Chain A
Amino acid sequence: MAWLVNAILTMVLLLNLFLLSVSRMKSLISGVALQGIMLSILPLLLVKEVDPLILITALVTAGIKGWTIPRMLDKALRDVRIKHEVEPLIGFIPSMLIGAAGTAAALMMTIHASGLHHPKSLLVIPASMSTILTGLLLLTTRFKALTQIIGYLILENGIYIFGMLLLAVVPFLVELGILLDLFVGIFVVCIILNHIHSAFASLDTRRLTSLKE
């Protein structure tokens, strides 16, 4: 099954670069949804035997990450009637190249540092690092509030991948707890966004500084 895990993780890596290079909010949201669904398959492939609990949590994760959250984001996008273009601080090609460089560095580091010098070895650590990097890049270089949420989602995905390493030690339920927190967080932010929008007619995070008083 190692090759399948590696294939999924490679797809995740590529999705990261896709997320950094797209300019339409819609594509960004569906990209994150796809990433979430792919990640939810991972625990099934990594445990020795699949017990019902793992199956259920995987299903729930897939449902929340692949369906519920994207639907909420879509709705927010429609409700607040903003332009459907991502507003980047640095251009799409440079952010993709930065992401690619980070991914390459992560790959090289794990390949040559930890003795994973074998085609069968798993890509878990580099994939996790690259995903976290992508999340941080999106958080720091995009202006819209919705892209901020997506940034957090990707960041969480990265941590989730890292959690795969600890699957044997930490119960999977903990992961589910984190997911729940995130879910509630996003729920709240989406509602708040709607309210901010109706009050201030802008969702640019650069202007949110005027809310501080």
Chain B
Amino acid sequence: MLHTTTPQLILSIATHFLVPLAIAPLFPGIINKVKAAMAGRRGPPLRQPYLDIFKLLRKTLVISNTTTWIFFAGPLVAVGAMLAVELLIPIGSSPAPIHFAGDVILFVYLFAAARFFTTSAALDTGSSFEGMGAAREVSFAVVSEAALIFSLLIMIRFSSGLSLNTLLLAPFKQGSVGPRLMAAVGLFVFLLAETSRVPVDDPDTHLELTMIHEVMVLDHSGPLLAAVQYASSLRLLILINLVLLFIGPPHTGIPILSWVLFILEASATAVLVGIIESVMARLPLRHVPTLLAAAAVLSGLGFILALR
């Protein structure tokens, strides 16, 4: 996409950055609504996540007296990393403002940085529950990372580019449909794992012994919990966007229209996540690595097929 004038460029960067920030909490709301509808309830309104965040921002911050500054760093780094990721990845059909050869790896490592600090913050409280969640988080990430890299390799193969802008906005061509679909399925599993969704994790349960992400933030409260929730909704949006880019949403030349299209597609994906969450049971924890490994193998085979 070519920008002729500086104001236009600034406008497009501003939209690229601000629109996702504004709409991110909508998607957990959509998922909850779908789940409620499937269960025959009316469910909370779509704006509930926004209300939650605003309410939490006004609450008292209760800090465990064993903690250090790392406890603050966890949620803040998580939000910061997601904001940085947002500037690196094309969203919908709008290209990322920051791009260079190898930003793929920065993208992956920003997720790792967020993971380092959130799990450290969990260990900082000295609670065995949170330690448990942190251990699961870092362990499962090992397997799901392989799926992510294989998927990105597929796109590197098809686009011959090393920057997220060129490789994720690459058009379909002959022979690329199969591997791209396989990668998209692999990434969808990655999404479910990274955003703590059924069948990997259950965001609703209050059984500490079975949770992964949610159990790590048991001690966060007030504004810090708001940061945690905002970070996780941003993460959901970014990963939905990533999956959509692999399937290749229809591009339109008009920015506003393509943003509308993107929001529609992302909502559809959120609905799909909600449906999966309603119809499936949580996997036993010991089977989670198998599922993630299957996703990695799927993307890996896609990569081999892409080499043809």
Are A and B direct contacts in the complex by CB distance below 8 Å? Answer: yes
Tally A residues with Cβ within 8 Å of B. 26
Q: A103-B301, A104-B300, A119-B308 are in contact. List 17 more A-B contacts (CB 8 A).
A: A7-B178, A13-B301, A14-B182, A14-B301, A17-B294, A21-B294, A93-B293, A96-B293, A97-B297, A100-B297, A100-B300, A108-B307, A111-B307, A111-B308, A118-B308, A120-B175, A121-B308
Query: Is B297 in contact with A17, judged by CB distance below 8 angstroms?
Result: yes
**1/0 per position for B286-299, CB-CB distance to A under 8 A?**
01011001100110
Task: Please name all residues of chain B whose beta carbon is closer than 8 Å to the beta carbon of A67 when the two chains form the complex.
Answer: none
A-B contact pairs, 23 of them (CB 8 A): A6-B178, A10-B178, A10-B182, A10-B301, A13-B301, A14-B182, A14-B298, A17-B297, A17-B301, A21-B290, A21-B294, A93-B290, A93-B293, A96-B290, A96-B293, A96-B294, A100-B301, A103-B301, A107-B304, A108-B307, A111-B307, A117-B308, A119-B308
Task: Please name all residues of chain B whose beta carbon is closer than 8 Å to the beta carbon of A7 when the two chains form the complex.
Answer: 178
B23 interfacial by beta-carbon distance below 8 Å: no
* B residues whose Cβ falls under 8 Å from a Cβ of A: 174-175, 177-178, 182, 287, 289-290, 293-294, 297-298, 300-301, 304-305, 307-308
Interface of B is mostly: helix
Q: Chain A's nearest CB lies how many Å from the CB of B258?
A: 28
Query: Is B287 in contact with A23, judged by CB distance below 8 angstroms?
Result: yes
CA distance A107 to B178 in the complex (A): 15
Query: Is B297 in contact with A96, judged by CB distance below 8 angstroms?
Result: yes
Shortest Cβ distance from A10 into B: residue: B178
A143 interfacial by beta-carbon distance below 8 Å: no
CA distance A92 to B293 in the complex (A): 10
A18 interfacial by beta-carbon distance below 8 Å: yes
Nearest 4 interchain pairs by C-beta: A119-B175, A100-B297, A107-B304, A104-B304
CA distance A107 to B289 in the complex (A): 25
Q: Chain A's nearest CB lies how many Å from the CB of B186?
A: 11
